[in-house]
Homo-oligomer: A and B are copies of this chain.
């Protein structure tokens, strides 16, 4: 918005590039070694810069984790935003499947954003705002599924979306934790989506 049609895209400055390189390094450490090992020192080593270079960009470890969480939430939102040309139920189903696929492909990123106690839990933080952007995608999928009558069951479509998030998060969290009383997490997840489609409407 704001920029005229003919304007050039903003060039990435050298500063932007350093930021991106450090964040990429932090994500590599997270994916490979887990949240507990994402330290300023480890990220600096991974990127081949002095620790001060990381402090200068992100302030401290918390700032670094927040930036990582924001990026992960952004990627999750992108993953869940499925093809708009499909019918509403199919879009909802594919969005739910994409949510699980993201978590299984990036378990450390998922734990960072929704493991509890991380930067996302701090209400009002940047990550909580970005989390809302990802949530908006889910709201849209749920709105496609609900007609005016079924929508009356909820305080709003955000409430219905929260229920969906609750259920799919529970499935993914138990699966990632290796806890489950019934085998076949893929089938369980499919049955859960069926249940949500029936129960939401």
A161-188 contact mask (Cβ, 8 Å, vs B): 1 or 0: 1110111111101101111111000011
Q: A159-B188, A179-B121 are in contact. Are A171 and B170 (CB under 8 A)?
A: yes
Instruction: Tell me whether A194 is interfacial, beta carbon within 8 Å.
Output: yes
The answer to whether A121 and B167 touch across the interface, beta carbons within 8 angstroms, is: no
A178–B158 Cα gap in the complex (Å)?
Answer: 17
Judge whether A182 and B196 touch: CB under 8 Å: no
Which residue in chain B gives the minimum CB-CB distance to A201? B198
Instruction: Kindly list chain B residues whose C-beta atoms are within 8 Å of the C-beta of A198.
Output: 198-199
CA distance A96 to B191 in the complex (A): 19
| CB-defined contacts of A135 to chain B, threshold 8 Å | 181
Q: How far is the CB of A124 from chain B (nearest CB, A)?
A: 12
What 5 A-B pairs have minimum CB-CB distances, sorted nearest first?
A: A170-B170, A199-B199, A116-B177, A195-B199, A121-B178
Query: Would you list 20 pairs from A and B whose C-beta atoms are within 8 A, ordered by A residue?
Result: A114-B177, A115-B177, A132-B181, A135-B181, A153-B194, A154-B191, A155-B182, A155-B187, A158-B182, A159-B188, A161-B181, A163-B191, A163-B192, A166-B170, A166-B171, A166-B192, A170-B170, A170-B171, A173-B173, A196-B199
